[in-house]
Structure formats: C-alpha cells, structure tokens
Structure 1
Amino acid sequence: MSDDPPPAKTLVQEVPVEFDLSDQISSRMSSKLSAFFGQLVVACLCAVGAVVLRELTDLILPAGAGPFALTFPFVLFATLFARWTAGVITMLLSALFAWYFVLPVNNSFTFEIASDAPRVLVNVLSGFLIVALAEYYRRVVRQAISTRDALAEERKLLLQEIDHRVKNKFAMVSGLVRIEARGAKSHDARQALERLQGRVESISKVHEALFRDEDGDSRVDMQVYLSSLCNSLRDGVVTQDGVQVVTDLRPVNLSRDKAIAVGLVVNELFTNAVKHAFEGREKGEIRVLLETEPAGLVVTVADDGVGMPKGDTRKGSLGQGLLQSFAESAEGELEYPEVAQGTCVRLRLPYR
C-alpha cells in the first residue's frame, strides 16, 4: 500500500482580476489590440459620463462652474477598473472638452485670460496624479488577489495530500486489524478485533465526509456519512446472505466530534445486532434511521431478530459501557423502547 502523496500540481500565480471591465470587454477578441480596445471603450464611456454630468450640472449651477472637478471621479473609475491607459485617455478627452466647450472663450482653445493656461495645466497634472495613485492601488489589490488565490490553491493541494496520507493510514490500520481477526483462534478475540475494525471504519468515514466537502465546512453531512458507514458495515460485518440492511436517513449536519460519536454508537449497535439478533436464523433485517423532531434528532438502530430478555440492557457489560460513553460524547441519551419483535435502541440528540 503506497504512502506517497499524489503528484503536486503547479501553482499558477497569474490570476485574472474579476473586476477588470476592459478584460471583460476584450475577452472575446483574439487580436493583439483587444486589450487596448477594451480600455479605449471604458475610457470613452467614462469621458461621455463626465460630459453628461457636466451638462447636467450647468442646468443647476452657473455655467462653467468647476470645469475640471467632475472629471476626476470618472478618471479614478476608469483607472481602477480598466488600467492606467483608460484613466489617461479619460483625463485627456475630458480636459479637451472642458477646455474647448466650458472655459471661456467657448468653442475655442484660446484662453480669455493668461492665468487660465496654468490652471488647466495644474488640473490636468492633478488628473494624472490620480491615475498614478489609482494604478498603484489597483496593482496592490491585483497582487493581493493573486496571492490570496495562490494560497487557497496551495491550501487545497496540502489538504488533498493530508487526506491521501490519512486515508492510507486508516486503511493500513483497518487492514492489519482485519488480518489479525482472521488469524485469531479465539472466537471472542476475533469478535473483539472485528469490533475494533468497525470503530476504525467509523472514524475513517467521518474523515472522508469532512474532506469531501470542498467548502471547508467542519460539519458533517450525516445522511452521506451514515449511509457510507452502513454500507461498509454491511459488506464487512454481515455474513448471512439473508440479512438485509435498510436505511432511512434525513439530511442533517452535525459537528465533527458529534458525528464521530454518533457513528461509533451506530457501529456498536449494528455489530451487536449482527452478533446476537439472528442466531439460528438465515434471514433478518437491520434498520438504521435518522429522524428529526421538534426537540432534536433521533438515531435508531433496530432489528427483527430474537430480541433481548425483558429489562436486559446489558448494563454491566463492556459494550454497554462503551455505548453509554459514546452517547455522552454526542451529548445524547440512549433509549431502549419495547418492540413486538427484535431489539430497538434510540439515541436522542437534543438541539443545543
């Protein structure tokens, strides 16, 4: 049995930035100019937005108020969402519009007074400074996103490697116990080893359920977990061909520790049923139920076998002591209701 981890994948550091509008516009174009085209489209839209806002402002305020002030928000937007090229183009187009149409003399690049030229220059340079700062911020955010995604991918690969190794360890321990059980000369020793193997399988199934969840949630889907556990117990413990295993499990999530405890309870009750319920019989049925009630959850393991003597819950046995310990770990209580045929044990888990 190999204990080598699966081959590691190469981590890709360049991660697309989700909020890049220019990339979204140019993503379907194969031309080398596609990236610039996307930036140009965003820049033109931002420049038009600045012009429209400028015209709306002139309807409320005196004409020409703050000719460049309304340009800067659109320059900032273009740079953040379409790179510095879009910001520069937006600034230039908006500045030319304000210079030609807003500043006196209107419809001319001639300045009414000499001091207007330095004022225009300072406003344009301020716009370029906004572009530089926004582009720096944008690159920092881009790098942070790339680092975040790379770390997430690395974490995923590490978890896959751990999962691979831990599953190998569980399989190795289970295999060794199985070999010892088959070679045991004492019937009691063989049964004890088979129970131990079942407990290892129970914990292993919780591990598989946790690592099957790609969202990293530490809660276990009990429907999937108990179904997998019962299938393993049926294949590994049930020796009579006529014994059927029936499950009816509701979709419920429990914490990892509670799930392990519940699985161990089910394992003990299941193996007890296989061991005691069908002595001298070829056919029978073991039922495992997971139900929800207003007060909490109920896990039931029942069989239609010979049953236990009335009032006998084997309180003095080691198995019963383990069952009680597992139930307490799950913060639940065991019940032994009387049934017409066979044995029924319930584990009640109140909502906390």
Structure 2
Amino acid sequence: MPVIKRPLLLFAGAIALVTAVTLGGLHLAPDRPWLLCIFMALAFTVIAGGAGRGPALAGIAIGALELAFVLPGDGFAVTDPDDALGLIATITLGLIAAWYVGRRNRQRDALAADLAAAHHAQERTAALLRELSHRLANDLAMLVSSTSLMRQSAATPEAIAALDSVASRIVVLSRVYQRLRIEEAERETVEIGAFLGNLCDDMRQSRFNLRPIALHLEIDECRLPLSQAVILGLITNELLTNIAKHAYPDDRPGTVGVRLRPHPFRPDAMQLSVADDGVGYAPPDGDGARMGQRLIAALASQLGGDIAITRREGQTIATLHFPVAGMR
C-alpha cells in the first residue's frame, strides 16, 4: 500500500478545512456572508499555525476562490461593497498569518541550527580537553622521569635532595590534575569534598601505608572554582607530605586530621586545618629546607589567603584561611 507523504496530507487537510468552512457557513448562515468571512479568516489562522506556511497559502488560495464563488457578483468582482471589503480583509488576514508563521519557522530553524552548532562545538571542546589532559599527564610523567635521570648523575647530596624535592612536587601536581575529571573542568567548579577525599586516599596509600598513622577527614560539602581547587589540593598534599616526612620518626604512631569548613567569622571564606600529634614543628634550617614552607606560603598567597602553623595541646596545626568567590 503506498505511503502518503506528510506534506501532501497537510495540503489536503488545509483544502478540506476551508471547503468545510465554506459549506458550513453557507448552510448555517446563508444570508450573512460577513460571518463566513470571519470563519474563513479563523480557518486560515488555524492552518497557518498548525500546518505551516505552504499549506496556509494553498488554503488561502482555495478559500479565496470559494468566497468569490459564493459571494454575490461576478468572480472577484463582488457587487456588495461590504462583502468585497470582507473578502479583502479575510485574504489579508490569511496572508499575514502565513507570513508570521513562515517568519517564526525561519527563526526556529535558525535557532535550532545555532544550538546544533553550539552542541558540536561543546563536544569538540570536551574532546580537546581530554586530549590536553592526556598530554599533560604524559608531560608530567616525562618530567618526573627526567628528574630521576638527573638525580642519578647528581654529584652532591644537596643536588640529590633538591631533585628529589622537585620530583615529589611534580608527582603531587600530577595527582591533583588526575583527580580533576573532565566533567568537573567543563563546569569550572569542583566538588571539593570528593576531590580532597580522593587526594587524601592517595596520600594514605602512598605516604602512610604500613605505618601506624591514622588519617581522618572532616570536609564540608561545597563547590569551589577550579583554580582554587588545584591550589588547595597542592597545599593539602604539601602539608601531608611534610607530616609524613618529619612528624613521626622511627615509625611513631599518631593521628592526622584534615578539616575543611566555612570560616567561623567570615561568610565569604573557607578554613582548612591540617593537624597532627607528632613530634612538633621546628623552623627548618637552610634555604633548601625552607623551600616547602615558602611554597605553601606562596600558594596561600595565590588563593588570597594566609596560613599559620601553631603548636598547642600536643598538636601541630596548620590553618589556612582563604576567600571564595561568590560565597555568601
């Protein structure tokens, strides 16, 4: 059985509707042609809104011929001036409705094309971000390998220690970016609870594994801008690395706590606290030994915040305060 295409059905439906309106108007109000013109104008509007510009023009043409046939006169030369005015007004209204629908459909098609182009551009951007993330991970791994090779050829203990420090910080940076998923990067904000939790899990496995040190987290759920999340991850890793290296010598047991919460006095800021019950904090000697503290201070400055390290009640506590854009 042949399939009738939808456009043909629309044209046929438009013609059938105007014909039905003409016959109905003649049957219900044969002596009131103005009422027939009103019904016909409504039919033109319905056809334009439901079927589109093409069927509307076809309906207007057929409807105009039928009106000219049923109105008194010779074709379009209608004898009654009121009937002639009604015929002209009906055709004009139909043409206006068809024009408006055609204009609306063109705008809709243009908007759909723009949306499709934007969706395609978004998909392309996401693919480029994934590729960039992959290349960044490879580049960071290459830097670590290069630093390890340079360490093997280093001549002095100071050079070896410096290269070890550089390699460890590159590894930290790589770990931070690995935890920033593409979906998070597209939204430009990061769920900081899950992000810092994953980073601390990495530290638990790499730095505190097989040592009698418990690592506890207390992180309030909130979203931070991507740039702030990266710096906050670096600071957290640096603090935990220093604790793992210096706070618990000779496999001493202990507890480390990481806490992130809104600032108690500033509604537009957050507070990060990293506490340990290790041997305590002593100001390091030498430029190389102070590099970690300078790095933490520099990162805190990039956040627009400040960090302080204190010793009280048997604990060493590093407290970072920093503002968060858009936070109330």
Scaled by the length of structure 2, the TM-score of the pair is 0.68
Instruction: Give the stretch that moved more between structures: 119-128 or 159-168.
Output: 119-128
Alpha carbons of 1:266 and 1:131: their partners in 2 closer, same or farther (altered >3 Å)? closer
Match for residue 333 of structure 1 among 298, 303, 306: 306
Q: Which amino acid aligns with 1:301?
A: V
Secondary structure (helix, strand or coil) at the match of 2:186 reads: coil
Matching residue within 343, 346, 349 for 2:316 = 343
Alignment of 1:128-143 (within 5 A): 136-143=106-113
What are the residue-to-residue correspondences of 1:94-243 with 2, within 5 Å?
Answer: 110-114=70-74, 116=76, 119=87, 136-177=106-147, 189=159, 191-213=161-183, 216-238=186-208, 240-243=210-213
**Cα displacement string for residues 283-334 of structure 1 (whole angstroms, at most 9, x for unaligned residues):** 333222211234221111111211125xx58898333222221211111111
Q: Is this contact kept in 2: 1:240–1:283, CA < 8 A? A: no
Residue 97 (structure 1) shift: 7.5
Candidates 49, 60, 84, aligned match of 1:77: 49
**How much identity, in percent, do the aligned residues show?**
23
Distance 1:187 1:244 in 2: 32
How many Å separate the matches in 2 of 1:330 and 1:189? Answer: 31
How many pairs align? Answer: 295
Deviation at residue 76 of structure 1 after TM alignment: 4.3
Q: Identify the residue that residue 256 of structure 1 maps to in structure 2.
A: 226
CA contact (8 A) 1:222 1:254 kept: yes
Q: Aligned residue for 1:82?
A: none
Q: Which residue type is aligned with residue 319 of structure 1?
A: G
The structure-2 alpha-carbon separation of the partners of 1:38 and 1:161, relative to structure 1 and needing over 3 Å to count, comes to farther
Alpha-carbon deviation of 1:273?
0.6
Structure 1 99/326 Cα, relative in aligned 2: closer, same or farther at 3 Å?
Answer: same
CA drift at 1:159: 2.0
TM-aligned CA distance change 1:291 to 1:77, over 3 Å: same
Q: Distance in 1 between matches of 2:142 and 2:320?
A: 31
1:157 deviates by 1.9
When residues 181 and 224 of structure 1 are mapped into structure 2, their CA distance, relative to the original with a 3 A threshold, is farther
The answer to whether residue 35 in structure 2 is matched with residue 63 in structure 1 is yes
Higher-helix-fraction structure: 2
**Aligned equivalents of 2:257, 2:246: Cα separation in 1:** 15
Are residues 113 and 134 of structure 1, via their aligned partners in 2, closer, same or farther at CA, if it must alter by over 3 Å? farther
Q: Is the 8 A contact 2:129 2:182 kept in 1?
A: no
**Cα RMSD over matched residues?**
4.4
Q: Which residue of 2 aligns with 1:322?
A: 295
